[in-house]
Structure 1
Amino acid sequence: MENRHLKSYSLKEIPNYKIHGRTDETKYPLPVFFNGGGIEVSVTGKELWIDIESVYKVHEMWIAYEINGELIGRQMLPYGRTKICLFRNMSPDTVKNVYLFRELQAMTEERDHQLLIWGMESDGEFLPVEEKAYKLEFVGDSITSGEGTYGAQTEEDWISMFKSCSHSFPYLVSKEMHAEFRAISQSGWGVLTGWDNNPDHNVPSRYEKICGFEEGKTAGESGADKPYDFSEWIPDAVIINLGTNDASAFKEPMWRDSYSGRTFKQHKNADGSYMRKDVLRLEKAMTDFLTMVRKDNPTAHILWAYGMIGHELSPIIKEAVENYKKESKDLNVSFLELPDTSEEQMGSLQHPGKKSHECATRVIAGYLKKQLSC
């Protein structure tokens, strides 16, 4: 039944709203590429709907939303364009802050995978959105993507339902810090290689694109492959959580590209230690990435926060951070070891669960509060 008391707005017609996450703001409908990306409004009225579209073949899209800072809903989207009621029958004169965001990471495994925002419907007035105290950028892998933060420990199906932003440490740290955040993450990827030694699955190679992880015709049309303009959103801190998959690569067989015959492998010595030449190759990838992040974010504090699934690479990352600081004279960089995940804190998909992310949040937020208040 048509809601005749509601006014429909295309996104361009809404007088006040905030876009979250890396995107091409010139595109309409607005593409939402990353976990945590979405839209925030402050609106009066009794009722609010969003006009949204989801495109996928296998990995269905999930979203979540909060009202006045509290998580209210999380759901799977049907394929295609749909309208979702975010609230109704609320006091018309009060201002409701609504933040709707993508739960799911960018899905490299599936071409033409899209979340698009068309507009909203409301009987209220859209007011300016309050600015947060900080801006934080999070760069990482499946941990940053929140893989395993929903679902029972016994779940092993690699599906969208068990990945989430709303229980992940980037979201939780940002709540604790009263910060706006952006996440750039991809499950299974590393600094040098992916978990399986695939050298093409390294996050630095995609970092300077709006969303280098999204592929396919529709992603290209939405601007995913464009260079990202780092000057339009300047973070106070960049938090890197990479290395877990690089550690796995030392244990996995050689990667081989069946098409070109190209191979790659990180090796262990006979005694189980890491081969030095491969350690040096990994350290160089780390220092090169720190150099890139500093070039792109001249004023940000860079924090390499590693752990949650083992600490095998802690000495290597520490050495890489110290080498970078020594060579660059850049002292606004640090390393922070995160608590390992206990058996009780494990979530689904053999990944850290919500309790583990809450532990990491306390450590990261505690550190950042001290660092950024200096």
Structure 2
Amino acid sequence: MTPNDQLRTYALSEIAHMKVHGRTTGRLDPLTLFWTGSGVEWNAKGSELWAEVEADYDHYEPWISVIVNGAAVSRRMVTAGRHWICLFRGMSADTVKNVRIVKDSQAMSGDRGCRLQLVAVRFDGTFEAVTDKPYRLEFVGDSITSGEGAIGAVTEQDWVPMWCSAVDNYAALTAGALDAEYRVLSQSGWGVLTSWDNNPHANLPAYYEQVCGLLKGERNEELGAWEANDFAAWQPDVVVVNLGTNDGGAFNTPAWQDPETGATHKQRLNADGTMNADDVAAFEQAACAFLGVIRRCNPGAHIVWAYGMLGTAMLPAIERAVSAYREQTGDVRVSVVRLPEMTAETVGARNHPGRRAHEQAAAALSEAIRPLLG
């Protein structure tokens, strides 16, 4: 493993100075990383640092990035089992290195066996205090917010977690531009009311108040994924919602049939190709209701609905929903930001926004959010 006999093994609970990123249960031995962008951060003064990770999966393996002093220095698949991975070695022992492990892959609602945990560390130095950033941002979204396609060649079409990045996506870039800590709740293909294929159960609002309730199976229940989230422990200054792309796509996909009841669900198009008014109204009602849930859970936050990277089909409906919510509640701390649309020059893998598109979105979004941050 390593010849360094100065390394000491620490359980995570033994490290006084460590910042945990992302929604968790608060349990550290081990620490389960559920969402995109979740992870840990240390200010490590020493020459060599290792982390013990444990992973499992039935279909989709987890991916992580290692960031040292703000630069992504490595990215890797975490194969099944328990492993020691080196975060850095041979560096100056008397300097402090800011080190982050970031989960690149999203919570896998379609893989009951998918799990990523941090177990322990080995280090030859001391952990120094990690300074809190001045702001907190929360992002709620779909594949765009999961960073799907933000990394990888334009020709890639396979749906594999390799093409998801929590480092190159607009959420991380926006947080970096605003010097903010951030959390992500995202799921590829999901929406406000329905998924891209008309499944009404695949909507983020239904699980917003849980730690990571969209995960299935007894193992995830044991890990605490279904527990109520402790909102009081982490209050964002701004909640960014980037949903609606898949709701719009559902109008152009076949009906979804519930395998248990046989009932079908479909966002309908009129004969002239326009969206059915009743179905659009149902989306608006769902969006308006979700804003109410976000406000109840985050009473002091500004809410920004950001949309447009993969088209603007639902933008009028989103604007109407936000206006309706403001009128019904008198809550003026809610706004809509139109994001730059992906082009042939900014497309990434899987016909999703690439790094350049995420950079453009982050520039527009950070400009809109900056005046809201006191």
CA–CA distance in 1 between the matches of 2:344 and 2:204?
28
Query: Deviations along 1:319-353, whole A, 9 cap, x unmatched?
Result: 10001001000000000111110011111111111
- Say which SS state the counterpart of residue 170 (structure 1) adopts: helix
Tell me which residue corresponds to 1:320: 321
CA–CA distance in 1 between the matches of 2:337 and 2:170?
14
CA–CA distance in 1 between the matches of 2:8 and 2:78?
23
Tell me which residue corresponds to 2:81: 80
Matched, 1:25 2:26: yes
CA–CA distance in 2 between the matches of 1:119 and 1:236?
32
Name the amino acid aligned to 2:99. V
Matched, 1:354 2:355: yes
CA–CA distance in 2 between the matches of 1:216 and 1:55?
14
Name the amino acid aligned to 1:293. I
CA–CA distance in 2 between the matches of 1:70 and 1:213?
31
CA–CA distance in 2 between the matches of 1:131 and 1:371?
19
CA–CA distance in 1 between the matches of 2:264 and 2:132?
48
Tell me which residue corresponds to 2:172: 171
The structural deviation recorded for 1:26 is: 2.6
Name the amino acid aligned to 1:218. R
Write the mapping of 1:129-278 to structure 2, written as runs, cut at 5 A: 129-278=130-279
Name the amino acid aligned to 1:56. Y
Contact 2:11–2:29, Cα closer than 8 Å, also in 1: no
Write the mapping of 1:293-332 to structure 2, written as runs, cut at 5 A: 293-332=294-333
CA–CA distance in 2 between the matches of 1:144 and 1:342?
18
Query: Deviations along 1:269-327, whole A, 9 cap, x unmatched?
Result: 11111111111111000000000000000000000000100001111100100010010
Assess, with a 3 A threshold, how the Cα gap between structure 1 residues 185 and 32 changes in structure 2: closer, same or farther. same
Which piece of structure 1 moves more, 210-219 or 100-109?
Answer: 210-219
Name the amino acid aligned to 2:45. T
Contact 1:55–1:79, Cα closer than 8 Å, also in 2: yes
Write the mapping of 1:4-153 to structure 2, written as runs, cut at 5 A: 4-26=5-27, 28-153=29-154
The structural deviation recorded for 1:242 is: 0.1
CA–CA distance in 1 between the matches of 2:19 and 2:26?
11
The structural deviation recorded for 1:27 is: 5.1
Query: Deviations along 1:173-208, whole A, 9 cap, x unmatched?
Result: 111111110000000000000001100001100111
CA–CA distance in 2 between the matches of 1:335 and 1:204?
18
Contact 1:114–1:218, Cα closer than 8 Å, also in 2: no
The structural deviation recorded for 1:92 is: 0.7
CA–CA distance in 2 between the matches of 1:26 and 1:9?
15
The structural deviation recorded for 1:258 is: 2.6
CA–CA distance in 2 between the matches of 1:251 and 1:170?
28
The structural deviation recorded for 1:89 is: 1.1
- Say which SS state the counterpart of residue 215 (structure 2) adopts: coil
The structural deviation recorded for 1:217 is: 2.3
Structure 1 unaligned residues grouped into runs of 5+: none
The structural deviation recorded for 1:14 is: 1.2
CA–CA distance in 1 between the matches of 2:304 and 2:338?
10
Tell me which residue corresponds to 1:280: 281
Which piece of structure 1 moves more, 216-225 or 203-212?
Answer: 216-225
CA–CA distance in 2 between the matches of 1:274 and 1:36?
35
Structure 2 unaligned residues grouped into runs of 5+: none
- Say which SS state the counterpart of residue 211 (structure 2) adopts: coil
CA–CA distance in 2 between the matches of 1:311 and 1:264?
23
CA–CA distance in 2 between the matches of 1:125 and 1:258?
55
- Say which SS state the counterpart of residue 345 (structure 2) adopts: helix
The structural deviation recorded for 1:71 is: 1.3
CA–CA distance in 2 between the matches of 1:119 and 1:28?
8
CA–CA distance in 2 between the matches of 1:63 and 1:218?
21
CA–CA distance in 2 between the matches of 1:225 and 1:275?
35
CA–CA distance in 1 between the matches of 2:210 and 2:259?
27
CA–CA distance in 2 between the matches of 1:65 and 1:27?
19
CA–CA distance in 2 between the matches of 1:27 and 1:163?
26
Contact 1:44–1:96, Cα closer than 8 Å, also in 2: yes
CA–CA distance in 1 between the matches of 2:224 and 2:28?
8
The structural deviation recorded for 1:54 is: 1.0
- Say which SS state the counterpart of residue 188 (structure 1) adopts: coil
The structural deviation recorded for 1:65 is: 1.5
Q: Percent identity?
A: 45
Query: What TM-score results when the alignment is normalised by the length of structure 2?
Result: 0.98
Name the amino acid aligned to 2:370. K
CA–CA distance in 2 between the matches of 1:368 and 1:209?
26
CA–CA distance in 2 between the matches of 1:165 and 1:213?
19
CA–CA distance in 1 between the matches of 2:260 and 2:35?
30
Query: Deviations along 1:242-269, whole A, 9 cap, x unmatched?
Result: 0000000111111111321121111111
- Say which SS state the counterpart of residue 351 (structure 2) adopts: coil
